[in-house]
Amino acid sequence: MILFVTGLIVGAILSVIADRLWRQYERSPKLDISCGEFFDTSGGGLSEGYQFTITNRGDVEIPPHKIWIYNPSRGSISLFTRNREGSTLPGQKLEHRCIMIRNQKLLSVLPDLYRDRNNNPMNEIQKSEFIFRLVLDSSDKIIYENKKIGNAFVGLFQNARENKSIRGNSSNDMMALQLKYEPFYRKFGAKFVKKKLIS
């Protein structure tokens, strides 16, 4: 009898935990993220830089948001402008641009991201702690973050800043800035198949 009651209690607890985890997963934005170089002559001169395209793959709108690059040693940095305001509806894209070069000259306002908030050079551990974040306009709530994309972008940013050019990035450099949304069941299925193949 005691085992039966214990089983019911444990089952109820596990059910609540599973339900909360599922709700958390359902609430998290479902995104494709891609980054590429852009060359734009629409402003009367040539602007060059990097553009992140965020695609909403979910079935609910994503409120207005911005990109921040965060590092514990220097805080949050805003480098991007959006191509439009407002929410991103299911299936819609939002573009965020970081202009680095205008008319073949590096913009003087671009910071050295490898310096901390006191303007001291970062060590190698600090340099590996950059995080790409999507943050809501209304509340500064973080709705998505990715350390791999953060570090990869800052590496390209710093190279462009040093060389005064965004050209010459390898396909591997650019691949590190891509993320494709995969449904939970597909991720789980892929892990299961991989485990079966290995065992």
One-character DSSP codes across 146-175? EHHHHHHHHHHHHHHHHHT------HHHHH
* Range(s) of the domain holding residue 191: 31-198
Could you tell me if residue 19 is inside a domain?
Answer: no
* Non-local CB neighbours of 75 within 8 Å, separated by 6+ positions: 117
Could you tell me if residue 59 is inside a domain?
Answer: yes
Question: Is it the case that residue 7 has pLDDT exceeding 70?
Answer: no
Average pLDDT, the chain: 85
pLDDT tens digits, 21-78: 434 444 578 999 999 999 998 877 899 999 999 999 999 999 999 999 999 999 999 9
Could you tell me if residue 42 is inside a domain?
Answer: yes
Tokens of 64: 């207005």
Could you tell me if residue 181 is inside a domain?
Answer: yes
- Which pLDDT belongs to residue 197? 44
Tally the residues of the chain: 199
Query: Tokens 């800035």 appear where?
Result: 177
**Count: domains in the chain:** 1
Could you tell me if residue 58 is inside a domain?
Answer: yes
Question: Is it the case that residue 16 has pLDDT exceeding 50?
Answer: no
Could you tell me if residue 162 is inside a domain?
Answer: yes
List 101's β-bridge partners, or say none: 48, 106
Could you tell me if residue 153 is inside a domain?
Answer: yes
List 76's β-bridge partners, or say none: 70
Could you tell me if residue 7 is inside a domain?
Answer: no
